Amino acid sequence: MRLFVVDDHPVTRAGMAALIGAEPDMTLVGEAATAADAVAGVADTAPDVVLMDLQLGDGPDGVEATRRLRALPDPPYVLVLTTYDTDSDIVRAIDAGAIGYILKAGPPDELFAAIRAAAEGHSALSPQVATKMMNRMREPLPSLTNREIDILRLLAAGSGNRDIAKQLYITEATVKTHLVHIFRKLNVDSRTAAVREAVRRKLIRMS
């Protein structure tokens, strides 16, 4: 298996190189600290699996890097390897095309098993992440009000808070309050993610 590591911490990359080097069926073919370098490096080395951290310094994060890698003509499988286990991080990564989500706090055997599963096209989740996802699926989805749906449609059309306020005859402060409720109900942390999740749930349609 040909592996590529994306992490902005040199010590972490060195540690991963040492771990991978001890596995007879795994070879580290490259590493990168940014999303741009990851895309360029993967295009040059054609790995089977990319191990992706979520936080990559000041540039695009690991979710965006995952999205770019999966858009390549011959995309590798992307296995997220991170310390973050919030619901929003997990959902964003999987929506971007990650085949698995593993926590750095887990034992090496868990990581190696996940890498081998990913290389064969199978999903892989840390036990804690799997539990979170199952609990999330069991919980009833909070419903959005008609006003919140209207705001989501305007967000999808590219409207800012001021434009939304004018079109709906409400104040900008009210728009911001609605956005807080929308983010909480959709379990997202940005306007873009809210629109994407609303489209995925078929609450709105992109024009």
Residue 140 has pLDDT above 70, yes or no: no
Q: Is pLDDT at 136 greater than 70 in this prediction? A: no
Residue 134 pLDDT class (50, 70, 90 cuts): confident
Per-residue CA distances from 115 to 2, 40, 155, 180 (Å): 10, 22, 38, 37
Measuring CA to CA, which residue among 74, 36, 75 is closest to residue 56? 36
Token duo for residue 140: 């009833």
Question: How confident is the model at residue 199, as a pLDDT?
Answer: 87
Amino acid (one-letter) located at 80: V
Instruction: Give the pLDDT confidence of 54-106 residue by residue, as tens digits.
Output: 999 888 999 999 999 999 999 999 999 999 877 778 888 888 899 999 999 88
Question: What residues contact residue 98 under an 8 Å CB cut-off, 6+ apart?
Answer: 52, 66, 78, 79, 80
Give residue 111's pLDDT band: very low, low, confident or very high (50, 70, 90): very high
What is the arithmetic mean of pLDDT over 112-116? 96
Q: How far apart are CA 59 and CA 3, in angstroms?
A: 23
